[in-house]
Amino acid sequence: MKFYGREDELRLMGQLYQKSPSFLVITGRRRIGKTTLVREFIRSRPSIYFFVDNHKKIDLLMEEYSHILSNHFELPSFFSIQKPSDLFAFLIQIKEPIIVVFDEFQRFNQIYPPFYTELQHAWDQRPEDSKLFLIVTGSSIGMMNRIFMGGGAPLFKRADTRITIRPFGVTEILPVLDDLTSLSLEEKLKIFYLFGGIIHYYYLFDKFSCRNFPDILEKIIFNDFGPLRREISDILVEEFGSEHASYHTIIAALAGGKTSMKEIGDRAGIAVTSLHPYLENLINLLGIVTYQVPVGDEKGRSRLGRYFLTDPFFRFYARFVYPNMSTFEAGNYSSLIAAVDDGWNSYAGRCFEDLVREILKNTLLNQYDSIGSWWNRKGNEIDIVATGSDRTLVVECKYRDLTENQARDIIEKVLKKAEFIPHLSGLVIGGVAARSIMGKEKLIQEGYFVWDFNDLNNTLRHVEGDPSPTLR
Contacts of 289 (CB under 8 A, 6+ apart): 254, 279, 282, 283, 307, 308, 309, 310, 311
| Same domain, residue pair 139 and 39 | yes
Is 65 inside a domain boundary?
Answer: yes
**Confidence (pLDDT) at 472:** 33
Taken in order 169, 172, 176, 182, is the CA torsion positive or negative? positive
| Same domain, residue pair 158 and 15 | yes
> Residue 30 class from Cβ within 10 Å (0-12 exposed, 13-18 middle, 19+ buried)?
middle
Task: Write out the residue range of the structural domain in which residue 210 sits.
Answer: 170-221
| Same domain, residue pair 13 and 160 | yes
**Confidence (pLDDT) at 464:** 39
**Confidence (pLDDT) at 462:** 63
Whether 471 shows a pLDDT value over 50: the answer reads no
| Same domain, residue pair 115 and 195 | no
Give me the mean pLDDT over the 147-171 stretch.
91
| Same domain, residue pair 22 and 160 | yes
Is 347 inside a domain boundary?
Answer: no
Give me the mean pLDDT over the 23-35 stretch.
93
**Confidence (pLDDT) at 155:** 94
Domain boundary among 164, 184, 205: 164
**Confidence (pLDDT) at 2:** 85
| Same domain, residue pair 101 and 26 | yes
| Same domain, residue pair 32 and 118 | yes
Nearest 10 degrees: Cα torsion 326, 328, 330, 336: 110
Domain boundary among 295, 316, 331: 331
SS (HEC) of 238-289: HHHHHHHHHHHHHHHHHHCCCCCHHHHHHHHCCCHHHHHHHHHHHHHCCCCE
Which helix or strand (DSSP H or E) is residue 459 part of?
helix 453-460
- Measured CA to CA, the distance from residue 308 to residue 329 in angstroms comes to 27
Provide the CATH number for the domain around residue 266. 1.10.10.10
* Nearest CA among 456, 464, 466 for reference residue 170: 456
Give me the mean pLDDT over the 140-167 stretch.
91
- Chain centroid to CA 112: 30
| Same domain, residue pair 17 and 128 | yes
Give me the mean pLDDT over the 239-257 stretch.
93
Is 341 inside a domain boundary?
Answer: no
Encode pLDDT of 429-460 as tens digits. 999 999 999 999 999 999 999 999 999 888 88
Whether 470 shows a pLDDT value over 60: the answer reads no
Is 340 inside a domain boundary?
Answer: no
Q: What percent of the chain has pLDDT over 90?
A: 82
Domain boundary among 194, 221, 248: 221
Q: What are phi and psi of 153, to 5 degrees?
A: -70, 140
| % helix, strand, coil for the chain, step of 5 | 50, 15, 35
CB-CB contact of 393 with 429 (8 Å): yes
| Same domain, residue pair 303 and 367 | no
Q: Confidence class of residue 204 from pLDDT cuts 50, 70 and 90?
A: very high
The region of weakest confidence among 108-112, 211-215, 422-426 is: 422-426
3-state secondary structure of 463: coil
| Same domain, residue pair 154 and 207 | no
Encode pLDDT of 301-342 as tens digits. 888 999 999 999 999 999 999 999 999 999 999 999 999 999
Encode pLDDT of 261-279 as tens digits. 999 999 999 999 999 999 9
Is 469 inside a domain boundary?
Answer: no
- Measured CA to CA, the distance from residue 277 to residue 366 in angstroms comes to 36
**Confidence (pLDDT) at 468:** 44
CB-CB contact of 420 with 378 (8 Å): yes
Q: What percent of the chain has pLDDT over 70?
A: 98
Provide the CATH number for the domain around residue 80. 3.40.50.300
DSSP 324: G
Which is higher by pLDDT, 114 or 459?
A: 114
**Confidence (pLDDT) at 465:** 40
| Same domain, residue pair 267 and 380 | no
**Confidence (pLDDT) at 265:** 96
Encode pLDDT of 211-243 as tens digits. 999 999 999 999 999 999 999 999 999 889 899
Is 211 inside a domain boundary?
Answer: yes
Is 30 inside a domain boundary?
Answer: yes
Structural domains counted in the chain: 4
* Nearest CA among 352, 420, 360 for reference residue 386: 360
Average pLDDT of the chain, as a whole number? 92
CB-CB contact of 165 with 9 (8 Å): yes
Give me the mean pLDDT over the 185-189 stretch.
92
Task: Provide the total of helices (H) and of strands (E) in the chain, helices listed first.
Answer: 21, 12
Encode pLDDT of 377-393 as tens digits. 999 999 999 998 889 99
- Measured CA to CA, the distance from residue 449 to residue 430 in angstroms comes to 6
Q: CA–CA distance from 374 to each of 89, 304, 371 (Å)?
A: 58, 10, 10
| Same domain, residue pair 158 and 175 | no
CB-CB contact of 99 with 135 (8 Å): yes
Is 468 inside a domain boundary?
Answer: no
- Please, which contacts does 38-43 make with residues 24 or more away whose CB atoms are closer than 8 Å? 38/101, 38/103, 38/135, 38/137, 40/3, 40/6, 40/10, 41/10, 41/13, 41/14, 41/99, 42/99, 42/101
Encode pLDDT of 38-88 as tens digits. 999 999 999 999 999 999 999 999 999 999 999 999 999 889 999 999 999
